[in-house]
Amino acid sequence: MTADPKFAEVFHSDNRSRLRADCESCFGLCCAALPFASSSDFAMNKNAGQPCPNLQADFRCGIHRSLRQQGFRGCTVYDCFGAGQHLSRHTFGGRDWRQAPETAQAMFGVFPVMQQLHELLWYLTEALNVPEARLIHEQLQEALEETMQLTQLTPEALMELEMPAYRAKVNVLLLQTSEMMRSEGMKSLNGKVKHPKSVGRGADLIGAKLRGADLRYANLRGAYLIAANLSGADLRGADLIGADLRDTDLSGADLTGSLFLTQFQINAAKGDAHTKIPPLLVRPAHWPGPGN
């Protein structure tokens, strides 16, 4: 089995912008496949596999322009890494679950699997563009190609994948990439930067006051930064994979050159016109613009 050449083209360079949701090409999969619970993010409960009542016949959202005002903030945060359009157009060949209801269960079932595979493609492509990780570029390339091949599987085969084990295998390489980049980066700072003791992998930094902190090359993998104040912080070179940035204040923070940051995380955080984000990410429409 080989990866679709057109799909493989995406990864010849750091072209991760293709790994972003294209809702126009998707059959509203996140709006039907995923569950949500009534909370500050969603105005109602919805079970997995149950289409949202706001999803229109053309698979567009009927309240797209007023999601936040109507209590659906969670919908403005979510990003599928392009898994929705890949399943809709490629895996299921453009047959939607309304025209072909017999496909609905399989389409909704494999959506979370494809989302994870695309998320891994995002990280692996980024890792391949980290010069400090050149010693493991061959393994990263192999992992990227294997992941691309997995995205070409049939729905039945996708359902059989052991995603936790596969994620763990890829994560070993991502962790090595992070360590190589951050150790080189810290060396370049000549000991001038000392991170607070509380900062580290999986750290509980909920509500932490880190305004203006120098967190260059910090290990923030999986850190809980919910509602933390990181305004004006320097996060260049910091590893942010899996960090929970819900309502984290990133006003004026510098995240250029940070590692493994995703659109989902940026969407969940609070920023402003002075927040610097990596070039492949899009400034969320709900962040205040200049003059606000």
| Residue in 234, 243, 239 with CA at minimum distance from that of residue 269 | 243
Rounded to a whole number of angstroms, the minimum distance from the CB of residue 118 to ligand SF4 is 19
Which one, 97 or 224, has the nearer CB to ligand SF4?
97
Q: Could you list the residues that contact ligand SF4 (CB under 6 A)? A: 31, 52, 54-55, 61, 63, 72, 75
Q: Read off the tokens for 275.
A: 């927040």
Which one, 76 or 176, has the nearer CB to ligand SF4?
76
Q: Read off the tokens for 153.
A: 């599987």
Rounded to a whole number of angstroms, the minimum distance from the CB of residue 61 to ligand SF4 is 3
Which one, 61 or 175, has the nearer CB to ligand SF4?
61
Rounded to a whole number of angstroms, the minimum distance from the CB of residue 270 to ligand SF4 is 20
The 10 Å Cβ neighbour count of residue 131 is: 9
Which one, 54 or 177, has the nearer CB to ligand SF4?
54
Write the CB contacts of 264 (distance below 8 Å, at least 6 apart in sequence). 77, 78, 79
Rounded to a whole number of angstroms, the minimum distance from the CB of residue 54 to ligand SF4 is 4
Which one, 72 or 166, has the nearer CB to ligand SF4?
72
**What's the CA gap between 165 and 181, in Å, rounded?**
25
**What's the CA gap between 36 and 47, in Å, rounded?**
7
Rounded to a whole number of angstroms, the minimum distance from the CB of residue 264 to ligand SF4 is 14
Which one, 48 or 157, has the nearer CB to ligand SF4?
48
- Cβ(194)–Cβ(213) under 8 Å? no
DSSP 224: B
Rounded to a whole number of angstroms, the minimum distance from the CB of residue 161 to ligand SF4 is 25
Question: Residue 18 half-sphere exposure, CB side, CA atoms within 13 Å?
Answer: 13
CA distances for 47 relative to 68, 90, 147, 242, 244, angstroms: 21, 26, 29, 25, 24
